[in-house]
C-alpha cells in the first residue's frame, strides 16, 4: 500500500506552523492512543502513522528533506541522513506531548530522564589552530576557556551550607502541577521550580543559589596524530556544568591546520614540488628532499625525466588518525628552463641545438609528423 502523505495524515497544509503540527498530532494521538482503543488494529495503525508523520515534520531538517524528496528521503539504502526512519518513535521529542496528556506515560523513568535533559549544561566550542607538523606528531596542549562549573561551596545544590532546599510550595515537591481541561487532567512541569520539586529559601552566597559559577578552566587535551583541518573532537562532559543534578555539556574542539609552505595535504597523502634544472632532468641525478617528520629522503631521478613527473615515497605521508600506518608522499619534479645565460652557457646550448636530433626529442618529432600531414591535407 502506498504511503500516505504526511501532511494528509495529520490533516494540515504544507504551510502549517510547528504549533499547528503539534496540535494536529496531539488530537490524533489522543484519539487513537492504544490505551483508549484496546485491541483496535485500525486505531493502532493510525496512531503509528501519525507518530511517524509528526516525527518527520516536527524536525526542521527532516521536514525539509521530506518537502524536497517526499517519502524517498527516508527510504533505506539511499543514504540521505544516513538511513531510513524506522517505526513511530524515531527522532522527535514526543515526551512533552505524552507527559502533558498522559501523565506518567512511559513510566517514571521518562520524566526523570527528561528533567535531566533539560538541566544539561551547554556544549562549548573551542577552535584550535595547529601546524601540519603538529598534526603529524599529535600533541598534548593545555587549553583555557571560560565556562560554568559546579559551585564548590554548595556542591551544586544552590543552598547555603547547613541548609537544604525546601519542598516547592507550588507542586508540593513532585515537580508537576495538574489542571483539568475538558475530559483530561493535564499535567505540566511546575512553573515555580521547573520540575525540580525544590525551592531554595537560603541561597548559597557564592553562586546566588544557582549551583553553578562562571569559571575559567584549563584542561589538557590530546590532539591525535593525523588530525586534519576541520576535524572535530568531542570531549564528553567537559562543557558547562548542568543545573540541579543535570549532566555537564560536551566540549567540541574544532581543529584548524595551517597550510604549509612546502607540503600540500590531501587526506593522508602529502604533495611536494621539487624544481630541477633541465640538465639534471636530461642527465639524471639524485635529489634530497625534506620529509614532514623533519628528516630527509633521497630520490633517484632517472635520465630523461619529463617535467611534472611524480615520484611516490610510500609511508612518508600523514598518519591515519583511525588505524595504523601512514599515507604517501608524492614528489613532483618541475624542470626549470634556464634564464640569464652567460656567454659560455649560450655557446654550449647553441652547439647542443645543432646536434640535437629526432632520437633525443621524440615528442617534437611526433608533433612535426602530425603537423606535416595536416598541412598536406
Feature table: binding site for Zn(2+): 151, 154, 168, 171, 190, 193, 204, 207
Query: What contacts 344, CB < 8 A, 6 or more positions away?
Result: none
Shortest spacing between CB 188 and Zn ion, in angstroms: 11
> What are the CA-CA distances from residue 76 to residues 5, 47, 53, 114 (Å)?
18, 23, 17, 30
Question: 359: exposed, middle or buried (C-beta count within 10 Å: 0-12, 13-18, 19+)?
Answer: exposed
Q: What is the dihedral of CA 100, 105, 107, 108, to 10 degrees?
A: 10
Selected binder of Zn ion within 16, 30, 170, 321 (CB under 5 A): 170
Please tell me whether residue 179 adopts helix, strand or coil conformation. strand
Shortest spacing between CB 207 and Zn ion, in angstroms: 3
Selected binder of Zn ion within 23, 43, 118, 153 (CB under 5 A): 153
Judged by CB under 5 A, does residue 331 bind Zn ion? no
Judged by CB under 5 A, does residue 128 bind Zn ion? no
Distance CA 8, CA 70 (A): 13
Q: Whose Cβ is closer to Zn ion: residue 59's or residue 199's?
A: 199
Judged by CB under 5 A, does residue 204 bind Zn ion? yes
Q: Which residue has the cell 602530425?
A: 370
Judged by CB under 5 A, does residue 151 bind Zn ion? yes
The residue count for binding Zn ion (CB under 5 A) is 12
Selected binder of Zn ion within 92, 124, 193, 331 (CB under 5 A): 193
Distance CA 68, CA 53 (A): 15
Name the one range near Zn ion by CB under 5 A: 32-40, 106-114, 161-169, 291-299.
161-169
Shortest spacing between CB 6 and Zn ion, in angstroms: 37
Shortest spacing between CB 115 and Zn ion, in angstroms: 12
Distance CA 169, CA 201 (A): 11
Query: Cell numbers of 45, please?
Result: 495503525
| Interface ranges with Zn ion (CB under 5 A) | 151, 153-154, 168, 170-171, 190, 192-193, 204, 206-207
Amino acid at each position: 500500500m502506498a504511503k500516505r502523505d504526511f501532511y494528509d495524515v495529520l490533516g494540515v497544509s504544507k504551510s502549517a506552523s510547528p504549533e499547528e503540527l503539534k496540535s494536529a498530532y496531539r488530537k490524533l494521538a489522543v484519539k487513537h492512543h492504544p490505551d483508549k482503543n484496546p485491541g483496535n488494529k485500525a486505531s493502532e495503525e493510525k496512531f503509528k502513522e501519525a507518530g511517524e508523520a509528526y516525527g518527520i515534520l516536527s524536525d526542521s531538517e527532516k521536514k525539509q528533506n521530506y518537502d524536497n524528496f517526499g517519502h524517498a528521503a527516508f527510504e533505506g539504502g539511499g543514504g540521505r541522513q544516513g538511513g531510513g526512519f524506522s517505526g513511530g518513535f524515531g527522532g522527535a521529542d514526543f515526551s512533552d506531548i505524552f507527559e502533558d496528556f498522559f501523565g506518567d506515560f512511559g513510566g517514571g523513568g521518562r520524566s526523570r530522564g527528561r528533567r535531566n535533559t533539560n538541566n544539561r549544561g551547554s556544549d562549548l566550542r573551542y577552535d584550535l589552530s595547529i601546524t601540519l607538523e603538529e598534526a603529524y606528531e599529535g600533541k598534548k596542549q593545555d587549553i583555557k576557556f571560560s565556562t560554568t562549573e559546579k559551585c564548590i561551596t554548595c556542591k551544586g545544590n544552590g543552598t547555603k551550607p547547613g541548609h537544604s532546599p525546601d519542598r516547592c510550595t507550588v507542586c508540593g515537591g513532585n515537580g508537576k502541577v495538574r489542571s483539568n481541561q475538558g475530559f483530561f487532567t493535564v499535567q505540566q512541569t511546575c512553573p515555580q521550580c521547573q520540575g525540580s520539586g525544590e525551592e531554595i529559601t537560603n541561597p548559597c552566597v557564592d553562586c546566588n543559589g544557582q549551583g553553578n559559577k562562571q569559571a575559567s578552566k584549563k584542561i589538557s587535551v590530546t590532539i591525535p596524530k593525523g588530525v586534519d583541518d576541520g576535524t572535530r573532537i568531542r570531549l564528553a562532559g567537559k562543557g558547562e556544568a548542568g543545573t540541579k543534578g543535570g549532566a555537564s555539556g560536551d566540549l567540541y574542539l574544532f581543529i584548524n591546520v595551517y597550510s604549509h609552505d612546502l607540503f600540500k595535504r590531501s587526506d593522508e597523502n602529502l604533495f611536494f614540488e621539487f624544481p630541477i634544472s633541465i640538465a639534471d632532468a636530461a642527465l639524471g641525478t639524485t635529489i634530497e628532499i625534506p620529509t614532514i617528520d623533519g628528516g630527509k629522503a633521497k630520490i633517484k631521478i632517472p635520465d630523461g625525466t619529463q617535467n611534472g613527473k611524480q615520484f611516490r615515497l610510500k609511508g612518508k605521508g600523514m598518519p591515519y588518525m583511525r588505524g595504523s600506518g601512514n599515507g604517501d608522499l608524492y614528489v613532483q619534479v618541475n624542470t626549470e628552463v634556464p634564464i640569464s645565460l652567460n656567454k659560455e652557457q649560450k655557446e654550449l646550448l647553441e652547439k647542443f641545438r645543432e646536434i640535437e636530433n629526432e632520437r633525443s626529442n621524440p615528442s617534437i618529432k611526433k608533433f612535426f609528423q602530425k603537423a606535416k600531414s595536416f598541412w598536406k591535407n
